[in-house]
Structure 1
Amino acid sequence: MPPGYLTQADRPLLCAFCEASALNQGAASTMAREGVVIEIDGKRTTHPALLVFRTTCTSLASLSTKLRLALSARTTRDTASTKASAPVNARRPWSR
């Protein structure tokens, strides 16, 4: 990232992103070690860490957009692959 990309105003979001990332990695490590399906009181069930993993994935996606870390948050119409300058009769990828 270029200097100045994030400002002091982004600090709370960046802290939340880092905390969510750490929780996400911890949950993923726990499930990798213990399995996604575990046995509790003789019953097979999904690991409680799966809920943490899913929740933090959602938070990371949201925060990355707000911090303009996600590609979709940085892409403008002018930088997209379908530029206005493309010929009108250009072949579309889906019409091959």
Structure 2
Amino acid sequence: MKKAAIIIASGFEEGEALTIADIIKRAHLQCDLVGFEQEVKGGHEIIVRCDHILNETLLDYDMVILPGGYGGAEAMKNNPTLISYLQQTKKW
């Protein structure tokens, strides 16, 4: 089964992240919320409990989705661990 990871960073846009997760799950594909922490507060103060905390297993996913949003994009850009994993992901 194909697997997708949605990166959840503080300040993420809830609509972008959760709508995408819903659509992927409706397609009967695995979709995990991968956060910098177990619980992450979005740009509209909604707290989401992630399936996993960011680690090297990100490299096992077929797709990595980076939702935007207020501080979320900035937090992802400034996270050297995430950047390193993204640079190592499979190239299609």
Q: By the TM > 0.5 criterion, same fold?
A: no
TM-score of the superposed pair, with normalisation by structure 1: 0.23
Kindly indicate which of the two structures has a greater share of residues assigned to strand.
Answer: 2
Kindly indicate which of the two structures has a greater share of residues assigned to helix.
Answer: 1
Say which structure, 1 or 2, has more relative contact order (CA 8 Å, 6+ apart).
2
Higher-Rg structure is 1
